[in-house]
Structure 1
Amino acid sequence: MKLPPEHPQSDDPDMVCKLHKSTYGLKQSPRAWYAKLSSILEKFGFQRSSADSSLFVRDGLVGKVIVLIYVDDLIVTGDNAEEIHFLKLTLQNKLAIKDLGRLKYFLGIELANSHEGFFLNQRKYILDLLKDSDLIDSKHARTPLDSKLQLSTHSEAFFDITKYQRLVGKLIYLTITRLDISYVVSIVSQFMHAPTLAHMQIVKRILRYLKGSICRGLLMTKNDSTAIMGYTDADWAGNSLDRKSTTGFCTFVGGNLVTWRSKKQTVVARSNAEAEYRAMASTACELIWLKSLLLDLGFPSNEPMSMFCDNQAAMHIASNPVFHERTKHIEVDCHYVRAQVQSKIITTYYTHSHDQLADIFTKSLPTVPFLCIMSKLGSRDPLDLA
């Protein structure tokens, strides 16, 4: 590390400093802090989750305690208040911590508790984003992306690349609760290195859409079920620039939406069935991860997980144990889904295209089907319900 200014030897280019203690701001600090905190938790009986290294679980004599870590911010929950209180006292004796009470705000995510369940949104984060981009008084849009828009590379280059990257980076973080912008954010994030004016116009369209849906968030209803299911879809050759397909999926636990993704596939698919099959492989990995996470939380399940797909050809490839001419060119890692289907860990079901909830993550939809799918996924706007 460099010596601080005004130090008597700060002008010596050959001076080398040995670090005895990691200081705030260095790249080693988060790793050192995590090592110290995890060692304290493990000393008091916590087990690190194999599915998520930031999740720690302890099964006590009178209850379960769960700790979720994000750098130096912690969420503590459990089914016994005394166990939670004892953990807080233990941490206070070891570290300088501050108890902020019941969870209401965490890393830009607001949480409201009601008789229906938990409602998650990022209202304040959106307001700050609109103020920073000078669009707080702009006219709002009904959808985040025009359903008839065609991407082009012939637009003029945008002059301020840093501004574009900063806005898109904030929008990526916003997709934690705003599944409605996942697809369009995945599009604009593909041009971070060389954005054009047309790409910046799409970013502004997203912000104007957020202006009209500031309070929209995700409702988690109370449910005793831990059944895992997922919807998977792909838009074959949907990208007009390189003809790569887009993978989209969403997963549910107990009827509540928990994860979703919209991502361009890394290779060009030779058929619609191949594109859908690759999307099924990605969804299968997500379902297996969710199952292992629930196991670490103390909710084991031997029931097959459900996967809904609207392409029967891809489903046949997944259930057919014989490799044939149509599947020779598909990478081995894509056949991961076939192993899960054959071992009865995942069961595939056909769903009609108009019932495909993952459709919103693969293409831009008109207003009516867009809002319909949003409602089915549990995305709510309290202003619409008032």
Structure 2
Amino acid sequence: MNALLKNRTWEIVDLPKEKKTVKCKWAFTIKCKPNGIERYKARLVAKGFTQTYGIDYQETFAPVARINSIRILLSLTVHFNWPLHQLDVKNAFLNGDLEEEVFMDLPSASEDKLEKKKVYVDDIILTGDDSLELERLKKALTCEFEIKDLGPLRYFLGMEFARSKKVSMVSQFMHSPNQGHSDATYRILRYLKGTPGKGLLYENRGHLQVGVFTDADWAGSVIDRRSTSGYCTFVGGNLVTWRSKMQSIVARSSAEAEFRVVAHDICEVLWIKQLLEELKVASPLPMKVFCDNKAVIAIALNAVLHDRTKHVEVDKHFIKEKLENRLIVMPYIPTVEQVANILTKGLPKKQFDDFVSKLAMNDIFKPA
């Protein structure tokens, strides 16, 4: 409460006629550091679902960095051996101003009404090739906000990669589960309990090649026969983005299913290329799109379409254009080496563990 009052988060006012209030609640979290719990935190938040679009708010955009962008930046930091610092803006979510006028109920044991004025922002990670400029930036931020310098980045909460496929499969049956789904859920929980320290290891591998491993099953869903797309994207040999997602329409052939995921993955590496260009970082071209379907590669390189593939003509021409412009190449990779398989189908334990190792996932708590 002291932080809320110190930052002038609200003004206590009488509720005007014909105005409605937004409810609020306390959210309790635990803030961690590399060696355990740092402190327990309480945050007063508005119940946004009680707001009305066009009256209480107009936009829901949050100007925070994508986790994918942060991973790419971390890979660059390792490659160039840049310094890496972390700053914590105290009560950061109180440092923005709302354009709208929002009236919120006071928390329990309080009186009157609150006029809410603030929005959320996030913590800060700094890196770059100029240490002096980083220090100047720190000082400039300190003049504007109450900032705690946490020193070199030691702890960054991310996502558990290896559970993506199984969780996405089980989550499809949340509203009508049977015993098999419950057994699968318990197996996922046992896996997570047994791998609490699994994390990505970023290393300087001597290059900044952008590559993506792309895969799709065919008609894998027993409910509607839609296919599952999966991809793993690397920058400098370090895993930076990945996804496992059900395709929106039913594919009529395995080639069609693969075409759709390849087209999407090319968009992903083009976005990475644009981000690197904005950071003034040169990356080798062409970028590599690893595919284990020879038919897809042949069709992408060949202008001929037949009746089984002409309905994916747009994706085909998009892929062919990028190949001709030498933005990408599509080397064939055997299925047993296609690491994206981990996101599209169930695998034997030995092969699963092998792919996890190739993705540079290690026990971060294991002594070096």
- Map of 2:121 onto structure 1: 71
Instruction: Choose from 289, 301, 315 the match for 1:319.
Output: 301
> Quick one: structure 1 residues 275 and 337, their matched pair in 2 at CA, closer, same or farther if it must change by over 3 Å?
same
Query: Is contact 1:236-1:271 (8 Å) kept?
Result: yes
- Equivalence for 2:221: 239
The answer to whether the 8 A contact 2:301-2:320 is kept is yes
Of 327-336 and 353-362, more deviation after overlay is shown by 327-336
2:135 maps to 85
How far is 1:192 from its partner? 4.7
My pick for the range that moved more, 353-362 or 71-80, is 71-80
Residue 205 of structure 1: how far off its partner (Å): 1.8
Matching of residues 133-282 of structure 1 within 5 Å: 176=159, 178-192=160-174, 195=177, 198-282=180-264
Cα contact 2:216–2:257 (8 A) shared by 1: yes
Q: Which residue of 2 aligns with 1:119?
A: none
Aligned residues: 286
| Residues 100, 32 of structure 1: alpha-carbon distance in 2 compared, 3 angstrom cutoff | farther
Q: Going by fraction, where is strand more abundant, 1 or 2? A: 2
- C-alpha change, 1:31 and 1:89, in structure 2 (3 Å) is farther
Amino acid at match of 1:227: Q
From 337, 358, 366, the counterpart of 1:355 = 337
Partner secondary structure for residue 226 of structure 2 = coil
Task: Give the distance between the partners of 2:274 and 2:13, measured in 1 at CA.
Answer: 56
CA distance in 2, matches of 1:190, 1:279: 20
Three-state SS of the structure 1 residue aligned to 2:205 is coil
Q: Output one character per residue of 1:130-188: Cα deviation in whole Å (capped at 9) or x when no partner.
A: xxxxxxxxxxxxxxxxxxxxxxxxxxxxxxxxxxxxxxxxxxxxxx2x22111112213
Q: Structure 1 unaligned runs (5+)?
A: 1-6, 18-22, 39-47, 57-62, 110-175
- Provide the alpha-carbon RMSD of the alignment: 3.7
Distance 1:52 1:351, change over 3 A: closer
Report deviation, 1:65: 10
Report the 3-state secondary structure (helix = DSSP H, G, I; strand = E; otherwise coil) of the residue aligned with 1:278: helix
User: Which deviates more from structure 2 when the two are superposed, residues 195-204 or residues 212-221?
Assistant: 195-204
CA spacing shift, 1:94–1:189, aligned 2, 3 Å: same
In the alignment, which residue of structure 2 is the partner of 1:14? Answer: 18
Structure 2 residue aligned with 1:336: 318
Q: Is 1:307–2:289 an aligned residue pair?
A: yes
Q: Is the 8 A contact 1:250 1:261 kept in 2?
A: yes
CA spacing shift, 1:266–1:237, aligned 2, 3 Å: same
| 1:17-44 deviation per Cα after TM superposition (whole angstroms, max 9, x unaligned) | 9xxxxx974866997985xxx9xxxxxx
**In structure 1, how many angstroms separate the alpha carbons of the residues matched to 2:131 and 2:290?**
40
Normalised to the residue count of structure 1, the TM-score between the two structures is 0.64
Letter of the structure 1 residue corresponding to residue 353 of structure 2: L
Identity of aligned residues (%): 43
Deviation of the 1:202 alpha carbon: 2.6
CA–CA separation in structure 2 for the residues paired with 1:190 and 1:333 = 28
Q: Deviation string for 1:64-110 (max 9, x for gaps)? A: 9999999321111122222111111111112232222221223x34x
Q: Report what 1:95 is aligned to.
A: 145
Contact 2:260 2:315 in 1 (8 A): no
Corresponding residue of 1:153: none
> Which residue matches 1:129?
none
Instruction: Report the CA distance between 1:370 and its aligned residue.
Output: 0.7
Amino acid at match of 2:143: N
SS of the residue corresponding to residue 76 of structure 1 reads strand
Unaligned ranges ≥5, structure 2: 1-11, 22-43, 49-56, 74-81, 93-119
Identify if the C-alpha distance between structure 1 residues 32 and 203 changes in structure 2 by more than 3 Å, giving closer, same or farther: closer
- Residue 154 of structure 2 is matched in structure 1 by 104
Q: Per the alignment, in what secondary structure is the counterpart of residue 350 of structure 1?
A: coil
Tell me if the contact between 1:245 and 1:264 (Cα under 8 Å) persists in the aligned partners: yes
* Native 8 Å contact 2:209 2:235 kept in 1: yes
